[in-house]
Structure 1
Amino acid sequence: MSRPVRSVLYIPASKERALEKARDLPTDAIIFDLEDAVSPEEKDRARDLLAEELTAQDFGARLRIVRVNGLDTPWGAADLAVFAGHPGVDAVLVPKVNAPAVLDAVAAVVAKPLWAMLETAQGCLNAAAIAAHPRLEGMVMGTNDLAKELGARFRADRLPLIAGLGACVLAARAAGKVVVDGVYNAFKDEAGLRAECEQGRDMGFDGKTLIHPAQLAIANEVFAPSDAEVTLARRMIEAYRAARAQGQGVAVLDGRIVENMHVANATTILAKASAIAALAV
């Protein structure tokens, strides 16, 4: 089981206090943002500040992802020059990936694993080709930009975005890549956040991107296996093993059939629970 990404918190790279606080937050991953969260006049200072912080500070087991500016901007090439091989960076997040060629251009100068922002109609339509890129490890939904481009209205059920979200989940799963849901903007609305996290979890997302530390607890809870799920997974595995020992191909547990596919899913649940527990050590 790869490291969990239940919670992926955006941190503006220009905010020294936010960078300092991030070292102690219970987030599985941090996206250090040089793009949308940083004004044009702050871009150069933010780049230097982030490079220094990632060199000097320990962010523990958290996955450290840097979202750079696009190569079609005045800052993208300089961002890549600094973070292409930076020892404090686990991955580089490329914005507005519309096609694999965008990743090809970045991969030519970056040694780190790549992540891709899927935030345009074209990107969602090309999700399968993007997900199959050999240097790509993860995909992040940019739901605000996607909704804007689609001209979609806000709905709590996100129905206008479902086709794009689903296409990206399918692509990620087909290619064996991580895929993380977009942000929930109303950070004080806990009920709305929980509902959207549950929707994303049920669709197959590995976790959710977040804009405020107050959102961490709910995302971490929703995208982790519950105690009941862990208990049931263990019982399924035990029941199947007992059935196989008796020469049977399937088991029956609580009135339901347990086959090999259910055991595989149960094993995944236990591996995820174990990986999450290891983060707390």
Structure 2
Amino acid sequence: MNRWPLWAVLTPGEPARLERRVRAALMLEGDEEHGKGPSFEVIPGRGRYHAIVGADSSDVGAEFQIAKDLSREVDEPVYAIDRGNDPWAVTSWRKGVLEVLEVDPESLAESLGCLLPGRELPSDSSSKRPLRKVALVEGIRAQEASRALEDAGDPFPPGHYRFEDTPQGLRVSSETGDVGFADITLSERLPDVMAYGVIASPNLDMFFVNVLRGGECIGHFALPPRDDSFVPAVRDIKGENSPERILAALGIPAEWFRNE
């Protein structure tokens, strides 16, 4: 794997076993037989912790489920790093329980004896800018969402989020293009709501939607499409299967992602 990593997991464990676990989580068991290289790499650390890094944008979000599952098998915390936005976001998982951290990911990795590949941007022009993320949450109003995030200890300062009540639901965005884990947190705190986390590039050639309920991703829509996602793939969102029409169905302006 020689592309710029978009996500990472820092975890104790034996590297060969970790590779098998991640292959199973990403449903990549048959790739070697077809001559396809993995979309992730296990980088052995200097101690108990090792780094798992992934470069496929279709796997963005995989770090949460991988870290959550691995944390149930060890006594130490397992860390997930989202590198698709700037600043990077870090979460800690203990026995399946999430905590959002305000730490520098490179300093954290170094303290654990792990190496994270450099953060230089790839030459591909479609990837030069960070992906942007916005969420649409059904069955909740702005005041309730703000209170739920505050109660969960959300790391962003007051005023970071822009909450907009729309006919489709509550739209959650920010001027930085990063809503962090707001969609996951709201679906965990309010298990009856349905949340859609939309991640896209400026020209929408990379476009992903995670459908969440009860803190779990119950469906993943991806363009370019793939059939080896770690969560169930869906062919459409609200009956639509093109980025522009999906965004319209969710009440999210396509122009919001065009952050030139």
TM-score (norm 1): 0.28
Looking at secondary structure, tell me which structure has more helix per residue: 1
TM-score by length of 2: 0.30
